[in-house]
Structure 1
Amino acid sequence: MPAPPERTALYRLYDADDQLLYIGISAFPKTRFIEHAGDKNWWHHVTRKDVQWLDDRESALTAENDAITSERPLYNGYHHLGRGWPGKAHKYDDAEDQRRVRAGIEATLERGGYAPGTPLYGSDVGREFNASSSTSRAALAKLAEEGRLAKWGHHFKAPTPGGSAPPSDVPAVSGVRTDPWFTRVLRVECDAAHSRTRRHDRIQDTSFGCT
């Protein structure tokens, strides 16, 4: 039995001047907007979203193609149906946004606005400085390359004085990781070990470097 047609949304994104920025389709537009927030460096200019629901995806594809061709949104590129669309899109230059975000991060660091080791995510920094997540990640990456921020997996964090040594209440153990995430785990394990010691009146468990 064939699957029922999937209702699909045709959406338009506008800026504060009512300039049409982008047209797209999705069965889950809210999820798509979250994705756009992460990968479209112009996303912070979006102030209005118009959503129109159509009965099935094929109808939405046709409507999307017609709308892109006739309305010429600023940031749409080549559309895969390709009828009459020239295949070019305006490329948003986020260099100034990156400089602005970078300056904001540096100023916050200088006044101690980020506690040492604070994780800095592109989405959070973007909201803080009114920029897209991708632009903010680029600014964070450049600061990390220059040693102003620390790398934390695929993310970044505010620098910790003296490097990544564990807090004073968590003893360093030779050969054991000392990054902030692990030291939190270590502290939990130590607390659990101390609890076991009290319950069973045994010698203190030192397997995780607890004292």
Structure 2
Amino acid sequence: MTEARIAEGRTALYRYYDAADSLLYIGISDDPDRRRDEHAVTAADTWYPLAVSRRVGWFDTRAEAEGAEKLAIKQEKPRFNSRFNQRRDAVLQLKDGARDDRRQRQGIGRKTNHTDAIVKHFRERIDSGEMPPGTRLPTRQAIAEQFGIGNTAVSRAYVELVRDGFVEERRAHGYFVLPAESRTLAIRVGRPVEVAAQLREAMTAEQIRELIKALSA
């Protein structure tokens, strides 16, 4: 099989190895080359700099690839997969502890709403200027892996960020931060209190004064 994506719905199972041919990481993707570029960013401080080779196999459906991924991780025990794999490396255990601490500080944990926590995580960084307009958000899968939560919660968070006007989705390219002046809001006209709360969050005091003046005219 080739590494090119041959048909719609086909999913690749890929493995990364270090110079000693030790297994570093196992994953699945419908586009392993794009996923490689994402790993170069999200795993830049862990396993990606160690990787010297990659092996890819294709499955007809994503469900087949997911089943093969789970089995491969359990049996082959790659060093840097946490899902389906008990961590044994002392360095990785420390990284897991640091990740759990980060999740706790950011309100991402078992007793919180993960979707709300992810929305809060990005909104704070957008509002502070840490993520300026035009910044591309990490992929949903990358965020799910980073914080050890489900893809569904992350997907819902991204939908809310779009709905609230903080980011826009560009088909086939990802999600990007919008400048404040370009933000749009989806509002429910039958809920004035809710609309007011949304506007207070999205607009400056001066903009709100101008809006009140315009509504009164």
From the two aligned structures, give the one with the greater helix fraction: 2
TM-score (norm 2): 0.37
Could you say which structure has the larger radius of gyration? 1
